[in-house]
Amino acid sequence: MQRVFSGVKPSGDFHLGNYIGAFRQWVADQEGHDAFYCVVDLHALTEEIDPAYLRQKSFDAALNLLAVGLDPEVSTIFVQSHVPEHTRLTWLLECTATMGELRRMTQFKAKAHGQEAVRVGLFTYPVLMAADILLYQAQRVPVGDDQRQHLELTRELAQRFNNRYGETFVVPEAAVPEVGARVMDLQHPERKMSKTIDSPLGTINVLDEPSEITRKVKKAVTDTDGEMRYAPDEKPGLANLLSLMAVATGRKVDEVAAGYSRYGDLKRDLAEALVEMLRPVRERAAALASEPGEVEAVLRAGAARAHDIASVTYARAAEAIGLLS
């Protein structure tokens, strides 16, 4: 069975971009794959985050992964810091990576831009991500479009390590969805929807109430020419709404565009479609909230299963690189 690995940062509430770009694929990949899904709390430390908030969001993240439809009987769901091999392998890979290739990472450049004191962890973030993936010998990594470059680096590091020290790691591939790999902010459609951006009206959270979803969709920024066509560069706001409608209804973007003449009608139907898409998630999350012990048990079992695999890979890499066993 093919191995699948992916991760999400517990640095805030999960939003529609996470759901469409990542989680829908994660759920689909449970079928016929040996899947590992990780709450990457160590990655959340690369930016300012309050300890109590991080703790709460890490738990919420696990609960939400169950709510979106991951089945802990089928998939391994765990927290990154519970498996110490992630940081141990990171060091071996940091001694494989170069400053030059990390400096080229666009996410690093964007996040470090304008900061006076950039954390070293923000710089080496993609190496920790490579360790996450390589520890599980994953072939397939379902992610949104923004992670492509990190996956390229992961492949490069795996190949370099294998060439230098002998076959150790499987070289993974990114699995990016065809539509919805880049959900844009509803208020600022030139930037991606994200957890950290100060745009509450532009971000639909997975657990938003139906009335909030409707309000945000109705207020979404479009354009003034009123022409219904899919043109991401010229008409980014409308293109985003059309893509979302396509994803929520399983239709092609052009078909969706052909079905409407007025923006208001599209927004009305989109709000309804998103509410319906997220309804089961909201319901499962509410049910799980009264069973915190269940979430904790899932994470405990997940960490044990993850550790079984991660420890074997780490031992192999350590031996290959010349550490005394």
Query: Which of 270-291 are b and which e, b meaning 16 or more Cβ less than 10 Å from the residue's Cβ?
Result: bbebbbebbeebbebbeebeee
Whether 216 is catalytic is: no
Q: Which does 216 bind (CB under 5 to 8 A by kind): ligand AMP, ligand TRP, none?
A: none
> Per the structure block, which two tokens stand in for 2?
């093919």
Tell me the per-residue interface mask from 186 to 225 with ligand AMP, x by CB under 6 A, - otherwise: ------xxxx------------------------------
Q: Which does 33 bind (CB under 5 to 8 A by kind): ligand AMP, ligand TRP, none?
A: none
Tell me the per-residue interface mask from 126 to 155 with ligand AMP, x by CB under 6 A, - otherwise: -----------------xx-xx--------
Residue 129 touching ligand TRP (CB under 6 A): yes
Within 8 A by CB and 6+ apart from 223, the residues are 235, 237, 238
Q: Min. distance of Cβ 3 from ligand AMP in angstroms?
A: 17
Within 8 A by CB and 6+ apart from 258, the residues are none
The full length of the chain comes to 325
In order, the DSSP letters of 124-188 are: HHHHHHHHHHHHTT-SEEE--GGGHHHHHHHHHHHHHHHHHH-S-S---EEE--SSSSSPBPSS-
Whether 195 is catalytic is: yes
Whether 267 is catalytic is: no
Q: Among residues 24, 248, 11, which one has the least CA distance to residue 111?
A: 11
- C-beta closer to ligand AMP: residue 144 or 236: 144
Residue keyed to tokens 């076959």: 167
Q: Which does 101 bind (CB under 5 to 8 A by kind): ligand TRP, ligand AMP, none?
A: none
Question: Which residue sits closest to ligand TRP, CB atoms considered?
Answer: 7
Give the residues lining the site for ligand AMP (CB under 6 A): 8-9, 17-18, 20-22, 143-144, 146-147, 181-183, 192-195
Active-site annotation, residues: 111, 192, 195
